[in-house]
Amino acid sequence: MKKLVIIDNDQASSKALAEIVSREGYVVFKAYNGIEGLEAIRAHLPEFVVLDLFMPGIDGVRLCRYLKTQPEFAGIKVIVLSPLTASETYHIIEADADMYIAKGYIMDVANNLLRSLRLLESNLPAASLENRTFGFEGRSPRVVVEELLVERKHFETMLYRVGDGILEINEADTVVYVNPAARRMIGKDEMQIIGHDVSDVLGKRYDGQFQEILLRLKTSKKAVNIEMTLLQEKKALDFNFSNIMSDDQKYIGALMIFQDVSYLTNRIRELTLLNDVGRVLTSTLDFNEVLHIVMGQIQKIMGVEAVSLLLVEKETKDLIFEVALGMAGPSIRHKRLSAGKGIVGWVAKTGKSLLLPDVYADPRFDRSIDESTGFRTQSMICVPLKIRNEVIGVIQVINHSHDEPFNEDNMYLLSSISMYASIAIEHANLYQELHQRET
């Protein structure tokens, strides 16, 4: 027996159609809004779906698009019930439905529905649009309807293109709308968001906070706005929650508008850490301790697999690994590199910083250390350590722990730390020289 889902917020019509169609041997499931309809479709995977063009939550326009574009619904035949003219219906449905039926007297709709089902089950070649359209004869466009459709399209276009993320949930906390910006920020496909509980969409780790905010929105007797910042994967999202009230001041859902403030959050974090670095470095005048503090702070702040500090030997201009943290650290500490050799040699010689997203693509990269240690260098940043414009060493960071290439922001941060380090090293050197003279 073939399964069929009828989705129409007109419950009387839905029940009448279901009774008539079930007499013809179909197993019929009813839903009275788009969310219920989507749940029924996911649960039963019917051969046919009959849906009203306009419904609360997810309307027939969007639901038809989901059914015709998502692989999980492949093969489902869609029959649209429309109160508009045929041309208005074609215009508003971007993804072609299989059949179009005009809403009207229930027996006319039922007869056209059975006729449509028979045609769809006949497996004949796809008919022309006119031969897939029933019951629209005699209908003429109405100016008010055309104006409303234009306004609807304009409103949808704005939400689609706006840079802020937008989520709408119903009174049951189910997501009924998501715009492209929100999908990008959340990192999920539309069908992983629409029809799902907002806590599942944004992460169960915030479930307690969500429930507290949603309770305040639901119990308030007036409009409420609540701000909250959430960490979503590697992003910081700044949310504004607003309740949606009906004309009689009943809660019917909520709107969430949010922005990706990761860049700002990261800059604040980095400035705070830079301040900490400066404070810690000025707390000691021991040369070796200064070097190890610098490298430990860099590894902590930047989240890298390996970090090294090489000092320039004054007599030979060779570079010596003074501090090396990471898997290969113990095997390369105190290792000597000839002047000008490799990436660090180039940085020491030129006094310029260097960012390499893929080190093996650069002919200056010396592979010998990777080959001797078994460590695999992928991306790298090297910055010079300078005292009064003289290069005294090089700081090198290797492989971002997030498996992403380094970027310009990372290099700017490392350069800032290197300036703090240079000042601390100079102070430590001066103190050491003064102390030696006194003794």
Indicate which CATH number applies to the domain containing 218. Answer: 3.30.450.20
Q: Which of 234, 260, 286 is the last residue of a domain?
A: 260
User: How distant is the alpha carbon of residue 63 from its chain centre?
Assistant: 23
Q: Which of 260, 287, 307 is the last residue of a domain?
A: 260
Do residues 417 and 301 lie in contact, with contact meaning Cβ atoms separated by under 8 Å? yes
Is residue 113 in a domain?
yes
For residue 366, the model assigns a pLDDT of: 83
**Vertex 334 angle, CA 432 and 410, to 5°:** 85
Is residue 337 in a domain?
yes
The DSSP symbol for 407 reads: -
Q: Are residues 311 and 424 in the same domain?
A: yes
For residue 37, the model assigns a pLDDT of: 93
Q: Are residues 273 and 406 in the same domain?
A: yes
Is residue 302 in a domain?
yes
Query: How many Å apart are CA 414 and CA 397, to the nearest integer?
Result: 9
Indicate which CATH number applies to the domain containing 26. Answer: 3.40.50.2300
Strand 235-245 versus strand 225-232 pairing type: antiparallel
Q: Are residues 110 and 204 in the same domain?
A: no
Angle between helices 34-44 and 60-69 (to 10 degrees): 30
Q: Tell me whether residue 51 is exposed, middle or buried, using C-beta atoms within 10 angstroms of its C-beta: 0 to 12, 13 to 18, 19 or more.
A: buried
**How many domains are there within the chain?**
3
The residue type found at 158 is: M
For residue 33, the model assigns a pLDDT of: 92
Q: Are residues 277 and 255 in the same domain?
A: no
Do residues 67 and 49 lie in contact, with contact meaning Cβ atoms separated by under 8 Å? yes
- State the Cα torsion 206-211-216-218 to the nearest 10°: 130
Q: Are residues 231 and 285 in the same domain?
A: no
Q: Are residues 175 and 272 in the same domain?
A: no
Indicate which CATH number applies to the domain containing 292. Answer: 3.30.450.40
Diameter of the chain by CA atoms? 109
Q: Are residues 283 and 316 in the same domain?
A: yes
Residues across the chain: 439
Residue-range definition of the domain harbouring residue 120: 3-134
Q: Are residues 342 and 413 in the same domain?
A: yes
The residue type found at 254 is: A
Candidates 232, 393, 248; CA nearest to 311 is 393
pLDDT < 70: residue spans in the chain: 95, 141-155, 204-207, 232-234, 262-287, 290, 401-403, 427-439
**H or E stretch covering 332:** helix 329-332
Q: Which of 260, 277, 294 is the last residue of a domain?
A: 260
Q: Helix, strand or coil for residue 320?
A: strand
What is the Cβ-side half-sphere exposure of residue 424, based on CA atoms within 13 angstroms?
Answer: 25
Q: Are residues 364 and 278 in the same domain?
A: yes
Q: Are residues 194 and 284 in the same domain?
A: no
Contacts by residues 353-358 (CB-CB < 8 Å, ≥ 24 positions apart): 353/381, 353/382, 353/383, 353/384, 353/411, 353/414, 353/415, 354/380, 354/381, 354/382, 354/383, 355/380, 355/381, 355/406, 355/407, 355/408, 355/410, 355/411, 356/380, 356/381, 356/406, 357/405, 357/406, 358/405
pTM for this prediction = 0.62
Is residue 368 in a domain?
yes
Q: Are residues 272 and 412 in the same domain?
A: yes
Per-residue pLDDT tens for 36-61?
999 999 999 999 999 998 888 888 88
Do residues 65 and 59 lie in contact, with contact meaning Cβ atoms separated by under 8 Å? no
Is residue 151 in a domain?
no
Q: Are residues 279 and 416 in the same domain?
A: yes
For residue 274, the model assigns a pLDDT of: 65
| Structure tokens, 313 | 């030997």
